[in-house]
Structure 1
Amino acid sequence: MSEDGGIELNAIEMGDPALPTVLFVHGMAGSAGLWVLAYAFRLMKHYHVVSYDQRGHGLSPAPPHGYSLGEHARDLERVRRRLASGPVTVVGYSYGGHVATAWAMRYPESAAALVVVDSPPLPVAAQDIDDMLDGLSAVLGGDFAPSGRFIDPIKDSLRHDIQGRRRQIGNAKSRLDALRQTSFRHEVLADQPFSDAAFEAIACKTALIYSSRAGYLGYAEHQQSLIKDCSLTIVEGEHDFVIKNAGAVGDALQTILAGGV
């Protein structure tokens, strides 16, 4: 337990803590490691980079309850208080973008800037959650029969990883299986869309990075129309472009950060 009663989440720090902090939030079924090789090493010369495992993911605990957007936002603020001395720029991908947005809305004094990367509209589709909890867990166990919009784009890379990194993949499967025993699915399905007024109240500079082919550009444009100081960058690719087109996403992120978001 942390000092304020929350759980202690696993986090990775890179770069000088005296530099401006950029804090990364992964999406569902992700982990802090998503950001390290492709992004943190590019940024750490000029930024203090922090990436953490959300509750129930990676090396962080999986409590039975506490998976609402509000609790995730509180977790993010606890990480900020523990590892940064002042306001930070938060970068959130997919569902992590919703966590980052909820955080910026709830803790405006902590938000130097907000970067949302390809977050789909809320609420999250039940099939996407089931694909992750059940289908992806089955794939990680070596069964490639499950199919679904969430699973199909990553099957080939997982097939290679399962053959070459059985221990790490086994650990990831164990974490997903543990998450299935919590209230995660129920709480995420209960997430409500942000209101237009909530978007309009975001006080910090905001940047959106969206993929060209995932189908979320209408939602991105809606956010941009409501948030007072908001830019939109479109990068070629599907929703998994943070991995498959990491160079272009990284370039866009560096440009955004260098411009003060």
Structure 2
Amino acid sequence: MPVIKVNNRDVHIQELNKGAAETVLMIHGMFSNLSVYYFNIAPILAEHFHVVMYDLKSHGMSERTLHGYDLNSMTDDLNALMEALYLNSVHLAGYSFGGLIALKMALRFPDKVKKLVVIEAPDPKDEKARGIIDDYSREFLEHYVENFTDTTKVKMGKRQMERNHRMYEYLFYQTSIKSDMIAEKDFLDEPQITLLNKETLLLYGADSNCLETGKELNEKIKTSELTPVPGDHNIPIQEPVLIANMINTFFMN
């Protein structure tokens, strides 16, 4: 498992099709890891693109840290990752809180983002939207365990399961992750959102509690297109092939 130093911390990354002309960089949501893309979505994108995935701090196999889960810190990390990988500009896709990171990246470092895909980004001020991230983490863990054996040919044992649960408990109860998310409650109301001029694809579950946020973003971002997808907040898990094909078509056109 490749681990590189970014801002003096260990970051777990995965890359597919390094020789492709253009790069798609994918950001997972809080309380998950890069495998939400790795098993089904990334291989489809890698037919045409260099695909880069990474575990956010304290997630997956990246180094744990107590603080720095606000959007400025997260995009500083992403910018440093791109520099470490010698990536000048990329197509960017983010899911759930990763979608907010992607939006912030496009606002802070516009020259480094070509096109943007935002999947199920919640409104940080919406308590219901924040709550479904907790639900997502449970469904994600089940999905991760199910696919772990298929991908690695190794059955995940009790010890590995316990490590995963400890990671979630660490994030929930020891880090500043929840307070940092709450501190971003006004992010989508900031005037700079309306100035975003990147071509943006908004993918939201037709039955998701976050769909209204997608509609609001579609109104604010003049260069955006909103596409509802069958499912709820967990559409990358529920409809991975559909999601991958939609992202593929958007970035290729």
TM-score bracket for this pair, using the shorter chain length: 0.7 to 0.9
Give yes or no for contact 2:136–2:233 (8 Å, CA) kept in 1.
Answer: no
**How big is the shift at 1:87?**
0.9
Q: Which structure would you say has the larger RCO, counting Cα contacts within 8 Å and 6 or more residues apart?
A: 2
- Tell me if the contact between 2:24 and 2:49 (Cα under 8 Å) persists in the aligned partners: yes
2:217 match: 223
- In the TM superposition, residue 112 of structure 1 has moved relative to its aligned partner by 0.8
Indicate the larger mover: 70-79 or 177-186: 177-186
- Once the two structures are TM-superposed, the CA of residue 161 in structure 1 deviates from its matched residue by 8.1
2:177 counterpart residue number = 184
Out of 202, 205, 220, the residue aligned to residue 211 of structure 1 is 205
CA contact (8 A) 1:124 1:188 kept: no
Report if the CA contact (8 A) 2:26-2:52 is conserved. yes
Cα deviation 1:171-224 (Å, max 9, x = unaligned): 211222332322222222211332352211213211111110013222212111
Query: Residue 175 of structure 1 corresponds to which residue in structure 2?
Result: 167
Q: 1:153: Cα distance to partner?
A: 5.3
Q: 1:76 to 1:124 in 2, by over 3 A?
A: farther
C-alpha contact (below 8 Å) 2:218/2:225 kept by paired residues: yes
* Cα-Cα RMSD: 2.8
- Cα shift readout 1:63-83 (whole Å, capped 9, x = no counterpart): 121111111111111112222
1:23 aligns with 2:25: yes
Q: 1:16 to 1:93 in 2, by over 3 A?
A: same
Distance 2:185 2:147 in 1: 35
Matches within 5 A, 1:1-261: 2=5, 5-123=7-125, 125=127, 128=130, 132=134, 149-150=135-136, 165-166=156-157, 167-179=159-171, 180-193=173-186, 194-259=188-253
Match of 1:136 in 2: none
The whole-number CA distance in structure 1 between the counterparts of 2:59 and 2:223 is 32
Q: Name the amino acid aligned to 2:228.
A: I
Q: Contact 1:125–1:189 at 8 Å: present in 2 too? A: no
CA deviations over 1:221-251 (Å, ceiling 9, x no partner): 2111221311111111111111121122122
Q: What is the TM-score with the length of structure 2 in the denominator?
A: 0.84
Q: Is the 8 A contact 1:161 1:169 kept in 2?
A: no
| CA deviation profile, 1:138-193 (whole Å, cap 9, x unmatched) | xxxxxxxxxxx556756875897899623432221122233232222222221133
| Contact 2:195–2:221 (8 Å) recurs in 1 | yes
| 1:141 aligned residue | none
Deviations 1:83-137 (A, max 9, x none): 24321011000111011111111111111111100112113638956984xxxxx
- Counterpart in the other structure of 1:135: none
Give the letter for the 1:229 counterpart: T
Aligned equivalents of 1:57, 1:244: Cα separation in 2: 22
Q: Using the alignment, how far apart are the partners of 2:144 and 2:18 within structure 1?
A: 34
Count of residues in Structure 1 that have an aligned counterpart in Structure 2:
242
Structure 1: segments with no counterpart, 5+ residues: 133-148
Match of 2:152?
none
Between the aligned partners of 1:162 and 1:15, the Cα distance in structure 2 is 21
Distance in 2, matches of 1:50 and 1:57, equals 16
Pick closer, same or farther for the CA change 1:237–1:45 going to 2, 3 Å: same
Query: In the aligned structure 2, how far is the partner of 1:162 from the partner of 1:36?
Result: 11
Change (3 A) 1:162 1:36: closer
